[in-house]
């Protein structure tokens, strides 16, 4: 899996793809999209929660990038150029998906606490294995927690803590200094981890909340769909396996414990990675505007 956020980016393959795509090579453009689409999607789903909305956001970002590709100059890094487009889009897009209803940590805690503790579903009553449903409930809950952060905090936390982007690369993408990126990440960590310490049984055994006890309640409330798991793919690739692994000072061993929970989440692949792009390029007006053949 190509990781665009590695500290020292080897852009030799990408440079060739960009040059061919700028000259109208459709196959090169598809390959370029495939190198980045999943990463953009994994940012998007943490911004909007729902997979369908995240796919739409991903496509919107890629359309912007494709239509502006001719303006990209090779004297800058492509990852910085592309992910600045991504960041600016998700910071300014209309509210959708999980963002439609504004969440605070207080309201989120109330919603969890109001979900009754229940026994796990009967294995014969659900279409997937029960442990998968528990994992889906856990990741859904933790992804929902991110919606309690404002958009900028959520982006910085996703980049810095989950993707392990370095302060330097994160600052370049967010158009701030490395120091400001580090400080903003620290504030996002503190806000999120303070909530988890007071609410989540995964990190504080004195908290009564347990994922298996909430799973059936989440299903009945519509937060988890046994027929359509969006956070637990059949082929599981952990975020920590493909993240940059940037070397940074962790504020405490407890913070490392919280971060590890988020990095254990799956790296998600969007559906139909190139089909929508090919359909778009087949449209005469778009293809002509891109000079693709």
User: Does the structure show a pLDDT above 80 at 271?
Assistant: no
Half-sphere exposure of 56 (CA within 13 A, CB side): 12
More confident call, 129 vs 8? 129
Could you tell me the sign of the dihedral formed by the alpha carbons of 144, 146, 151, 157, in that order? negative
252 band by pLDDT with thresholds 50, 70 and 90: low
* Contact between residue 100 and residue 49 where contact means Cβ atoms under 8 Å apart: no
More confident call, 279 vs 255? 279
pLDDT of residue 293: 52
Mean pLDDT value of segment 74-97: 93
pLDDT of residue 44: 97
This prediction has a pTM of 0.90
User: Does the structure show a pLDDT above 70 at 237?
Assistant: no
CB-based burial of residue 183 (10 Å sphere; 0-12 exposed, 13-18 middle, 19+ buried)?
Answer: middle
* Contact between residue 98 and residue 57 where contact means Cβ atoms under 8 Å apart: no
Give the residue extent of every domain in the chain. 12-290
pLDDT of residue 12: 81
pLDDT of residue 116: 96
Taking only the tens place, the pLDDT of each residue in 181-214 is 999 999 999 999 999 999 999 999 999 999 999 9
20 band by pLDDT with thresholds 50, 70 and 90: very high
Mean pLDDT value of segment 229-249: 68
Taking only the tens place, the pLDDT of each residue in 28-68 is 999 999 999 999 999 999 999 999 999 999 999 999 999 99
Whole-angstrom distance, CA of residue 293 vs CA of residue 288? 9
3 Cβ neighbours under 8 A, 6+ residues apart: 39, 242, 243, 244
pLDDT of residue 172: 96
| Residue spans of alpha helices (H) in the chain | 12-22, 26-48, 51-68, 78-92, 105-114, 130-146, 151-157, 167-174, 178-199, 211-220, 239-242, 253-263, 275-282, 284-290
Mean pLDDT value of segment 108-116: 96
pLDDT mean across residues, the chain: 89
């Amino acid at each position: 899996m190509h990781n665009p956020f590695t500290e020292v980016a080897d852009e030799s393959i990408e440079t060739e793809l960009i040059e061919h795509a700028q000259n109208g090579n459709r196959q090169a453009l598809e390959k370029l999209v495939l190198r980045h689409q999943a990463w953009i999607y994994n940012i998007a789903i943490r911004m909007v929660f729902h997979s369908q909305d995240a796919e739409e956001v991903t496509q919107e970002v890629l359309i912007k990038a494709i239509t502006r590709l001719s303006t990209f100059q090779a004297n800058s890094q492509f990852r910085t150029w592309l992910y600045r487009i991504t960041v600016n889009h998700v910071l300014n897009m209309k509210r959708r998906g999980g963002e439609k209803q504004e969440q605070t940590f207080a309201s989120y805690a109330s919603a969890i606490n109001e979900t009754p503790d229940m026994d796990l579903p009967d294995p014969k009553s659900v279409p997937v294995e029960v442990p998968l449903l528990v994992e889906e409930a856990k990741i859904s809950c933790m992804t929902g927690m991110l919606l309690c952060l404002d958009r900028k905090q959520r982006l910085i936390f996703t980049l810095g803590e989950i993707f392990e982007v370095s302060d330097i690369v994160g600052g370049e993408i967010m158009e701030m200094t490395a120091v400001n990126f580090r400080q903003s990440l620290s504030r996002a960590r503190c806000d999120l981890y303070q909530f988890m310490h007071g609410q989540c049984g995964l990190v504080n055994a004195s908290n009564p909340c347990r994922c298996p006890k909430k799973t059936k309640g989440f299903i009945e409330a519509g937060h988890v769909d046994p027929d359509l798991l969006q956070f637990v793919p059949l082929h599981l690739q952990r975020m920590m396996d493909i993240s940059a692994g940037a070397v940074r000072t962790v504020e405490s061993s407890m913070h490392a414990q919280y971060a590890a929970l988020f990095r254990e989440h799956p790296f998600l692949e969007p559906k139909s990675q190139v089909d929508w792009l090919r359909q778009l390029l087949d449209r005469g007006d778009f293809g002509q505007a891109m000079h693709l053949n």
